[in-house]
Amino acid sequence: MTDRSDRTVGALLGVHAGDALGATVEFDSWEYIRFRYPDGVREIVGGGVFEWPPGHATDDTDLTRAVALAYLDPGDDVVLAAARLMLSWYEGDWPGRVPGRPPVDVGGATEGGLRTFARTGDPDGSGAGPGRAGNGSLMRCIPTALAVRERERRIRESVRISAVTHSDARCTVACAAYNEIVAVLVEGGSAAEAVAAGVAAARELGERSVVAAIALGERLDLAELARTGVTGLPDDGNGYVLDSLALAVAAVLDFRDLSDVLIDIVALGNDSDTNAAIAGGLLGARDGASSIPDGWLSVLQFREEFTGIAAEFARR
């Protein structure tokens, strides 16, 4: 039996675990993964194109950490605090990195947004504009859902933190809808109730493409996708924000255990770590940290820190 505290911890660690599981085969094809891992990637073993140590954070987890830390000490503006922490990550002031060495895995829109913020100091005017709709803000947005209980403020800050790097409405509204799903889940609502809350937020913000992506996710059968490699997604799960949102919705509506669902998402390949991180956040919020295999948890770089951050969010 899970409680709100366990689900809050689960949301953060679900992002971390999905990220670390998928990093092994990031950018690989379904065909290659099927050949190399016929039963799926079932353990967090590291490696991949960037040769990650097992459980090491990629940009997905690192930037989630940046947003989470901003909510612990927001100052006058949590969005400004988040932008500054993300810039610290980009400039090499980050655990597990040689000081001053930039990340190896920064996305184009994220890099552009952070470089603009470094020049202007304005977090509200730095993001890539319309036409840049990658999943780089959706992957890091979950701390807002865990830290903010007031719906209006939660939606507003979801949009603004996305727009530091990703200001296309598909990105900002996807973050708001995703965080409404998380907020219902951590309070003990059902997956169906949570998805309905996400749809309501997307409709309220007037972004029909996000509504359509959620509807697509409601129709996807992840076990079948993993078996055939045929996703039916607009960009085949290769970094488009609405592909990642649809997969996450499919994941949270899947009745199976968190591990089985994430293994199937990773099996699809392409942007496997980010897709699994985004889905892992919803699954962890649904099922709690107790649903994540001990063997996965034991190697996560920020396990203890994320557990402490989530405990503070739950206490507040």
Determine whether 256 is exposed, middle or buried from the number of CB atoms within 10 Å of its CB (0-12, 13-18, 19+). middle
- Is 58 annotated as belonging to a binding site? yes
> Residue 188's CB: how many other CB atoms inside 10 A?
12
**Where along the chain do its domains lie?**
4-315
- Is 273 annotated as belonging to a binding site? yes
Q: Per-residue b/e over 208-229, b at no fewer than 16 CB within 10 Å?
A: ebbbebbebbeebebeebbeee
How far apart (Å, rounded) are the C-alpha atoms in residues 35 and 51? Answer: 20
pLDDT digits (tens, 9 = 90+) for 21-70: 999 999 999 999 999 999 999 999 999 999 999 999 999 999 999 999 99
How many angstroms separate the Cα of 142 from the Cα of each of 16, 42, 125, 301, 310? 11, 24, 22, 18, 11
Residue 223 scores a pLDDT above 80: yes
Residue 201 scores a pLDDT above 90: yes
Model confidence at 299, pLDDT cuts 50, 70, 90, reads very high
pLDDT in the model for residue 86: 98
Q: Is the dihedral of CA 49, 53, 55, 61 positive or negative?
A: negative
Under CATH, domain 4-315 is a member of which superfamily? ADP-ribosylation/Crystallin J1 (1.10.4080.10)
- Is 172 annotated as belonging to a binding site? no
pLDDT in the model for residue 125: 82
- Is 271 annotated as belonging to a binding site? yes
- Is 235 annotated as belonging to a binding site? no
- Is 264 annotated as belonging to a binding site? no
Residue 87: name the closest of 103, 105, 104 by CA. 103
Task: Kindly report which listed range (124-128, 132-136, 263-267, 303-307) carries the lowest average pLDDT score.
Answer: 124-128
How far apart (Å, rounded) are the C-alpha atoms in residues 222 and 97? Answer: 35
pLDDT in the model for residue 1: 53
pLDDT digits (tens, 9 = 90+) for 68-89: 999 999 999 999 999 999 999 9
- Mean pLDDT for all residues in the chain: 96
pLDDT digits (tens, 9 = 90+) for 120-170: 999 998 787 788 899 999 999 999 999 999 999 999 999 999 999 999 999
Residue 2 scores a pLDDT above 80: no
